[in-house]
Structure formats: structure tokens, C-alpha cells
Copies of this chain bind each other. A is one copy, B any other.
């Protein structure tokens, strides 16, 4: 990514409905005991293409199969996605697929689209089917309230145990043309995406060939959603969909667009990690000096996922031994004698040897992050150099608190 045109991506409002031509809405069908919004709709403009990344779990939900099949059959020509929260509709027998088909058919009728142009995603409790009557009686309202202002409503309707909605939009001037990329996501628990994560949706109002967009989405997922972990559990319903629509983009701005796409996806990924169940801070692990980027990301994610590292951070304990132990079991080959390690600005290990450091000072650095502003200055930064290679990668996670256990012990089937 060298010699890029001088492009600046700036944050803007509107989430997934920010890009030109996209509309969204959210409604309450009554799927959840809380009676919070639980049904979201995203409608892409005519001619839009959609690229997807899906869970690699063998025990995946019927909606995942439906989305994969339709994206492949239509070479990405898809116009709408319906998302319900409350029931994962995974492992619900034949009914899972039948209900997914019924829902997309009913929505296609209302939107006057072909059934194959509509996708469905579900998140919530595994083994529980979607209450279809509630869904059918809410679809009308959902379609009627579609608007370019509906991004926040949609972002709220896809949440389960999340505390805050996760949406973002960026815009840039690409050769005199304004291009916007928007996104929303949900996360919270069962977060250890394997090729995709628990519901991420991206919109973009620049057109490009499907193959190119698809590859761009896969690459961006790899260094964003696939770099986070909350609890090591890959979900049955992981899904990222990226829609692109609009006039074809000048090829010389392709790399700039990818920078924007990665920016949006990384923001959403960090928001998911920060809002991990019971979390008090975001943990960012940067690994450099690896043989390749893939190795670096693997080490970074192993550290982020270590229960012992997560509980140490929760205890404001600069326990570098646990960080190094996690790197050592990551499956990546490196020489421990080359390890340099920092927590925040403090160097704790140099060339494999522990340095003297004031434990109170480093503990105070972590403590301050716990009191920081959400996704602004509440990030504990860990940096590790493992050798002399060019490989570099980031991983994100969160601390593990007593609250994590309570949430998951009390969240009943």
C-alpha cells in the first residue's frame, strides 16, 4: 500500500445508511423478554453487490447456508438483509431452514424483490426457533419505516447482551467524488470469529467489480473481525456482509477504498472487543518482528484470548510472564531470546530478559484505562517484538471480570 493518492477518511454520521442509496430500519417484534428492538432491515440500492464471510463452525445455523448459497448463486447480486436478535435459529432441525425461507419470501414480497435477493441473519439463543407469527406481523412496519436515517434503529435492533450499539461511517474524497463507507455490528459473547464474526454489516457507495470487492472484504475481515476474541468460542451464526453500490470507482483509488474499508471494520471490531461481556477496557496487542503477518496476528490473538492475561489485566497486574507464556503456546515459531515486551509506554522485557520496572507505575497505567472514555482512552496497549521479520499484526480483546462469569452463568436457555 505505497504511493497511495493523498486520501483522508473522516468520520461521519449515519452508520450503515450513510452511503448514498442505502436505507435501514429497526423494530420490536417481541422476540426478547426485554422487549428491546429485535428486528433490523438493510436495503441496498438497485445494482448493489454483496460479499460475505461466514463462520467456519460445522454446527452452523441454517441462515448461514441460505446466505452462502444465495450469494454464490447470484454472484453477489443481493439487495436486502433481515436480521433478528433473540433466537439464533441454529440447531432447530428442518424448521431452521424452512423458517428462514419463509421470512425471506415474505420480505421479498413486501419489497418487490426476488426471493433470492434477500438474506437473513439471526443471533441469540441456540436451539430456539424464531417466533414466526411475531416476525410476520412486524415485517410491514419494518419496511414502512425504512429510511436513510434508520442506521441507529437497525444497529440497536441487532444487539443481544451488548451494552451499546456499534456503528460507524467514514467518508473521503476520492478524486473529486465523495465516497462513504458505513457499518454496524453486534458482539458481546461467543466471540472468537473464524473467518467472520457475529453479525457485521458494511455498506459502501462506490461500485466495483464483484470479484474485486469480494477479495477486498475477505482481506479486511482477516485484519479486523478475525483479529478479535472475547471468550474463544466461535459462534454458530458468525456473518459479515459487505454491500457496495454506485458508479464504478476509478481503479487508482482501489487501495484507498480498502484503507477506508479496513478503518470501518477495525473500528467495529474494536467496539465488539471493548463491549465484550463484563469488560472494563479494550486490550490491543501489537506483534512485530514475525516471519509474516499471519504469524504476528496468531500470536497477538493468542495473547488477547488468554484467560490468564485477561484476568491479570482485570487485576491491573503487569504480569508479563503470562503474556510470554501465551505467546509461547501460540503455535508460532520464534526465539524467546528475541522478545521485547511493552505494556503501554513501559518496556518490561528486552531481548528475552526481564527488565527492572516499577510495578506500581505500570499498574497505574492499566488502572487509568479502566476509568477512560469508551473507545477513546480506555485501551491497554501491549506490544511485543518476537524477532527480526517484517510480519506485523494486531489483535483485540478485553479484560475478564467476575461479571463475565455472572452474565454467562445467569444467561439461561
Contacts and interface: CB of A to CB of B under 8 A. Distances in A.
Contacts of A306: 232-233
A356 to B, nearest CB: 12
A291 interface: no
B405 A329 contact: no
B408 A311 contact: yes
Nearest to A306: B233
A400 interface: yes
B127 A354 contact: yes
A57 B321 CA distance: 13
A232 B234 contact: no
Contacts of A52: none
A259 interface: no
Contacts of A339: 59
Contacts of A14: none
A66 interface: no
A307 interface: yes
Given A59-B328, A400-B405, A88 B308 contact: no
Contacts of A91: 321, 324, 336, 349, 352, 354
A126 B232 contact: no
Contact of A336 (B59, B233, B329, B334): B59
Interface in A294-324: 305-308, 311-312, 314-315, 317-322, 324
Contact of A234 (B125, B317, B329): B329
A75 interface: no
Interface string A52-83: 00001111100000000000000000000000
Contact of A321 (B90, B318, B328): B90
A306 B349 CA distance: 31
A369 to B, nearest CB: 15
A102 interface: no
A325 B233 contact: yes
A327 B59 CA distance: 8
A194 interface: yes
Contacts of A103: none
A376 interface: no
A359 interface: yes
A310 B210 CA distance: 42
A234 B325 contact: yes
**Of residues A312, A328, A336, A349, which shows the largest number of chain B Cβ atoms within 10 Å of its Cβ?**
A328
B88 A236 contact: no
A364 interface: no
A411 B315 contact: yes
A119 interface: no
B408 A307 contact: yes
Contacts of A60: 328
B234 A322 contact: no
Interface in A195-234: 231-234
A406 B314 CA distance: 9
A108 to B, nearest CB: 28
Closest 8 pairs (CB-CB, A-B): A126-B321, A59-B328, A315-B409, A311-B408, A234-B329, A57-B328, A402-B402, A58-B328
Interface of A: 56-60, 88, 90-93, 125-127, 189-190, 192, 194, 231-236, 305-308, 311-312, 314-315, 317-322, 324-329, 333-334, 336, 339, 349, 352-354, 359, 400-402, 404-413
16 contacts: A56-B329, A59-B324, A59-B336, A59-B339, A91-B336, A91-B349, A232-B306, A311-B404, A311-B407, A311-B408, A315-B409, A315-B412, A317-B412, A318-B413, A319-B413, A320-B413
Given A234-B325, A312-B408, 11 more contacts: A58-B333, A93-B352, A93-B353, A126-B321, A126-B322, A126-B325, A233-B306, A236-B324, A307-B408, A401-B405, A405-B405
